[in-house]
Amino acid sequence: MNDPREPALRLQGIVKTFPGVRALDGVDFEVMPGEVHALLGENGAGKSTLMKVLAGMYQPDEGQIIIAGQPVRMTTPIEAKAQGVVLIHQELSLVPEMSAAENIYLGELPRRSLGRVDWKTLEERSNAILTRLKCKFRAEVTVAHLSIANQQMVEIARALTVDARVVVFDEPTASLTDAEKVVLFDIINDLKAQGVGIVYISHRMDEIFTLSDRITVLRDGAYRGTLTTAETNEDEVTRLMIGRSLDLSRNEAPRDFGKTMLEVQKLTCPGLFEDVSFSVRAGEVVGFYGLVGAGRTEIAETLFGLRVPDSGEIRIDGEPVAISSPRDAIAHGISLVPENRKEQGLVLQMTCRDNMTLPQVQNLTTGPFVSQSAELAIFDQYRDKLAIKTPSWRQSAGVLSGGNQQKIVIGKWLSMQPRVLIVDEPTRGIDVGSKSEIHQLLRDLAAQGYAVIVISSEMPEVLRVSDRIVAMYHGRIMREFTIDEVTEDSLVQAISGIKTTEAA
Amino acid sequence: MLMTRLKAGGPAIAKQGILVAFIVFMIAFSLMSDRFLSADNIMSVFRQSAIIGVMAIGATIVVIGGNLDLSVGSMLSFATVLVVDLHDKIGPELAIPVMVLATLCLGAINGFLIGILRLNSLIVTLGMLSAIQGLVLIYSGGQNVDIVDQRGTWFAIFGRGAVFGIATPIIIFGTLALIFHIIMTTMPFGRRVHAVGGNPTASVFSGIPRSRVVFMTYLISALCVAIAAIILGSRVMGSQNNVGQGYELQVLAAVILGGTSLLGGSGSILRTVLGVLMLAFIQNGLILMGQPYYTQWLVTWVVIIVAVWLDVAAKRGRLFSPIA
C-alpha cells in the first residue's frame, strides 16, 4: 500500500518559537514505511514540541511536513489522523468510565438510523482490532477496570482504527512491567511488518537498541544527527545527546556504615505487603527492586504515615515509633521523595522556592511572618548543591524540566535534614544526563551519612546506587543481596518469585 | 515581528485585564453621568460595597483553597436576623458574640463536611444554602425583625457611623482586606492554603494537614459573613428573613472578576477588592443612568463571562477554543 522508497513522513527544516524560546531550530526528521525510527533527546530537547507539530497541535513557524511525497498542512489532530499520523500519548487519554470499544471509536461511533449507536458493529470491530493486538480482554470491558498496560493497548487499538501511515509512541513503556513490554514490542514489530512507519520516543537506551532501525538525536531544539542503530552504540548516542559520555558502572563505593537508623520488623498491610523486615544504616543506600505492584511504594507510604500498617514495628535510631501521619514521619526524621513528582511532589503553579520550603514553612518565620530571607537561604543552598537550573526562584515549578523538578523535590526533603531519606523511582521520565547526576547525588548523600532507601524498577539504577538490594515479589521480601554478591540473574529470579537454592 | 510582540505583550496586558476593564467602565460611566465621579457618589459606592466585599474576602480564601462557598448568602440572613433579634433581647454587647459564635458553628459544619469528610464543596454548600435559609425561617417564625431604639444604641456605629469622615463599613472592609491579604501572602497559613488548593495530594505528601487547612478556610468565611452581618444589621436596624438571598452569586462574581482561579491554588484578596468595586460601580452607574436595578444582573454577568473569556483567551493565545 505504501511506496517503500518514499518516506512515509518527512519533516524539513522545522522551526517553532515560543516567546523567549526557540523550541525547534531547523529540525529534519523522516520515517520510512516499515521502519522504527527512535527519537532521542534530553528533557527539553524539543521532542514533545516536534511531536505536537507532527500531530497538528502546533503549527511550525517555518519548514515543511511531507507525507507520502505531498507537502501537507495539518492544523488539528483530526487532520493529522486523516493523513494517517497517529500519536500514542505518554499520558493516556481514555475515558475511564466507558468501555474499551467506545474508547477505541470515540468520536466516530458506528451509527444506525436516528443517530443511535450501532453497538453490535462497534463491538465486532473493536474485538477484531483487539484480537489483532493479541489482547486477552474483550472490548465490552470498562476501561477503568483494565491495567495500565491494557489501557495502553486500547490507546494503540484506537490508532489502528484509521489506516495509519505513521504511529508515534511517546514513552510507551513508562508504566509497563517487563512482561507487558514484550507484548508491546511484538505489536510494534507487527505494525512495522505491515509497512507502518513507527516513531519511537523513549529515554530507555536498551529499548531503543532492541527496537529501532535508526536513531535521530535532538539537543537544545536542534537536529544533532541520525544514526543507523546497527552501526552505533549507547556511548555514541549518549555523547550526541548530552555532549559527553555516560557512566554505566556498578556502585563500588567503600562501605563504611554507621549505626542502624531505620529498622522495620514484620511490617504487614494485608493485600499490599506482608511480614516485611529490613534495616538501613547511616551511610548506606538500600535499593528496593521489584516489579510494578510488588508492594515497594506501599511500604514507603507506610513508613511516611500515609498508610496504617496492620501489625509490625518501626524503629528509628533504636526507638520504636508510632507513625500515623506524614507529620509524624517528618517529626521522626523520615523524608519521602514520592513516585509521581507532578501529582505528589510539587504544587506546579507555586514558585520553586515555595515548593522547596513547603514542609517547613511554618518554622521559617520571624514573628508571624514567613521569613523570605530564611526561605531564600534554603533555596539557594539546595539550588547550588543539586545544580538546579532555573532562571529564578520565582519560576513556577511546572515549567521546569523533569530532571530539575525532581531536584526541587529532592531539595525539599534534604532541607528537612532527614535521618532516613526514601526516594521512590527517582529518575522516572528523566533524561540520561539528569539521571546520572541524581545517581551521583544519592551516592554523595550516603557518603555524607544519610540512610537512604531507593525504590526503583530499573536494574541498572539499583546496581549503580545501592550498597544492599532488597528484592520484592508480591508484597514479600524474597531475598536481600549485598552489592558484591548480587548477579543480574539472581535478581531477576528473586523478583519473579523463583526461589533459588541458596535462598533461605 | 508585530505578531511576536503582541504575543509577548499579551499576557502582561491580560494580567491587568480586569484593571483595564475597570478603567474603561469608569470613563464610560463618567461621560454619561455627571454625578458618577463625584466624591459623594464614590464614597457611597464604597460604603455599599463593604458588605459584599467583606464576604468576598472569606470566599476568596475558600476558593484559593480549592473549594466553593455558596452558603454565604443564607448565612448572612441567619447572622443578621440573629444579631438584630438578640440586640433587643440581650443587648448588643452579648448579641454580637453570640451571633459570631453561632455563625462560626455553621462555618464549622461546612468545614467538617468538606475538610474532614472530604465531601464535594459545591454540593455541601448548596445544601447549606437551603438548610440555613430553613433554619432562619424556623428561628424567626417567618417574622421580620427590628431594633426598636434605633437612635440610642451604640450598635449603630458599624453601619451608620464614621471615623474621620470615613464611613465605618469602608474602614472595616479596608482593614479586613489588608489583614487577610497579609495573612495570605506572608504567613505560613496563607502558603498552606495556596498549596492545598493548588495540589491537595502534594500538600499531604508535604506533611500539610489538609483537612485542618480546609476547615480553617470555612471558619474564616463564616467569620467574614458574621462581620458583614454586623454592618448590615447596624445599617438597616432590622432584617428580613431572606436579606442575604443572592449574595452568594455576587460574592462569587467579585471573586471571579478578581481573577482568582476556581480551580484553586491562586488568587489575591486585593484583586478581589477590585472585583467588588467594579461590580459596585457598574451597578451604581446603571442606576444613575436610570436603569431599573435588575438590569444589573444582566450586565454584571455579561461582564463576568466576557472577562473570564478574555482571561482564558489571553492564556491560550487565541479567542476561540483550542483543539485539545
Domain boundaries defined on chain B: 18-314
The answer to whether the Cβ–Cβ distance between B201 and A361 falls below 8 Å is no
The DSSP H or E segment spanning A47 is helix A47-54
The answer to whether the Cβ–Cβ distance between B324 and A358 falls below 8 Å is no
Do the Cβ atoms of B225 and B198 come closer than 8 Å? no
Query: What is the rounded average pLDDT of the residues B77-85?
Result: 96
Percent of the residues in chain B that have a pLDDT greater than 90, as a whole number: 60
Per the model's pLDDT, the better-predicted residue between B109 and A160 turns out to be B109
Q: Quick one: pLDDT at residue A244?
A: 59
Q: Quick one: pLDDT at residue B8?
A: 37
Give how far B200 is from chain A: nearest CA, Å.
8
Contact B8/A at CB under 8 A: yes
| Distance between CA atoms of residues A326 and A329, nearest Å | 5
CATH number of the domain located at residue range(s) A9-242 in this protein: 3.40.50.300
Q: For B140-163, how does the pLDDT look when each residue is reduced to its tens digit (9 = 90+)?
A: 998 889 898 888 889 988 988 888
Per the model's pLDDT, the better-predicted residue between B283 and A48 turns out to be B283
B132, pLDDT greater than 90: yes
CB atoms under 10 Å from CB of A90, counted, come to 17
B20, pLDDT greater than 70: yes
What's the grid cell of residue B220?
474564616
Q: Quick one: pLDDT at residue A502?
A: 46
CA dihedral A20, A23, A26, A31 (to 10 degrees): -170
Q: Quick one: pLDDT at residue B314?
A: 67
Do the Cβ atoms of A335 and A421 come closer than 8 Å? yes
Residue from A498, A477, A454 nearest A276 by CA: A477
Query: In B, which residues are within 8 Å of A19 by CB distance?
Result: 4, 7-8
* A166-170 and B238-239 beta bridge pairing: unpaired
Contact B165/A at CB under 8 A: no
Query: DSSP string covering A453-486, please?
Result: EEEES-HHHHHHH-SEEEEEETTEEEEEEETTT-
3-state secondary structure A281-346: ECCCEEEEEECCCCCHHHHHHHHCCCCCCCEEEEEECCEEECCCCHHHHHHCCEEEECCCHHHHHC
Nearest to A344 among B188, B201, B208 (CB): B201
Query: In A, which residues are within 8 Å of B187 by CB distance?
Result: 365, 368-370
Q: Nearest 5°: CA angle at A250, between A246 and A251?
A: 110
Q: For B61-70, how does the pLDDT look when each residue is reduced to its tens digit (9 = 90+)?
A: 999 999 999 9
* Backbone phi and psi for residue A469, each to the nearest 5 degrees, phi listed first: -125, 130
B259, pLDDT greater than 90: no
Per the model's pLDDT, the better-predicted residue between B75 and A88 turns out to be B75
Q: Which regions in chain A score pLDDT beneath 70?
A: 1-4, 19-21, 43-44, 90-92, 243-249, 498-504
Give how far B195 is from chain A: nearest CA, Å.
6
Q: Quick one: pLDDT at residue A21?
A: 66
The answer to whether the Cβ–Cβ distance between B191 and A306 falls below 8 Å is no
Q: Quick one: pLDDT at residue A338?
A: 94
Do the Cβ atoms of A280 and A466 come closer than 8 Å? no
Q: For B168-193, how does the pLDDT look when each residue is reduced to its tens digit (9 = 90+)?
A: 999 999 999 999 999 999 999 999 99
Query: In A, which residues are within 8 Å of B203 by CB distance?
Result: 347, 358
Q: If pLDDT is split at 50, 70 and 90, which confidence band does B78 have?
A: very high
Task: Give the SS3 label for residue A198.
Answer: strand
3-state secondary structure A141-196: CEHHHCCHHHHHHHHHHHHCCCCCCEEEEECCCCCCCHHHHHHHHHHHHHHHHCCC
Q: Is the dihedral of CA B191, B197, B199, B204 positive or negative?
A: positive
Same fold, A9-242 and A260-349+409-495: yes
Contact B195/A at CB under 8 A: yes
Q: For B83-99, how does the pLDDT look when each residue is reduced to its tens digit (9 = 90+)?
A: 999 999 999 999 999 99
Q: Quick one: pLDDT at residue A233?
A: 85
Percent of the residues in chain B that have a pLDDT greater than 70, as a whole number: 91
Q: Is the dihedral of CA A432, A434, A440, A446 positive or negative?
A: negative
Q: If pLDDT is split at 50, 70 and 90, which confidence band does B203 have?
A: very high
Give how far B321 is from chain A: nearest CA, Å.
12
Q: Which residues have C-beta within 8 Å of that of residue A276, sequence separation ≥ 6? A: A264, A266, A267, A268, A295, A299, A312, A475, A476, A477
Q: Quick one: pLDDT at residue A235?
A: 78
B10, pLDDT greater than 50: no
Per the model's pLDDT, the better-predicted residue between B324 and A170 turns out to be A170
Tell me which of B2, B205, B260 to substitute to probe the interface with A (most A C-beta atoms closer than 10 Å).
Answer: B205
Domain boundaries defined on chain A: 9-242, 260-349+409-495
| Distance between CA atoms of residues A161 and A182, nearest Å | 23
Do the Cβ atoms of A10 and A71 come closer than 8 Å? no
The answer to whether the Cβ–Cβ distance between A57 and B199 falls below 8 Å is no
Q: Quick one: pLDDT at residue A271?
A: 85
CATH fold of A260-349+409-495 reads Rossmann fold (3.40.50)
Do the Cβ atoms of A350 and A360 come closer than 8 Å? no
Task: Give the SS3 label for residue A248.
Answer: coil
The answer to whether the Cβ–Cβ distance between A349 and B206 falls below 8 Å is no
Q: Quick one: pLDDT at residue B228?
A: 97
What's the grid cell of residue B165?
469622615
Q: Quick one: pLDDT at residue A372?
A: 92
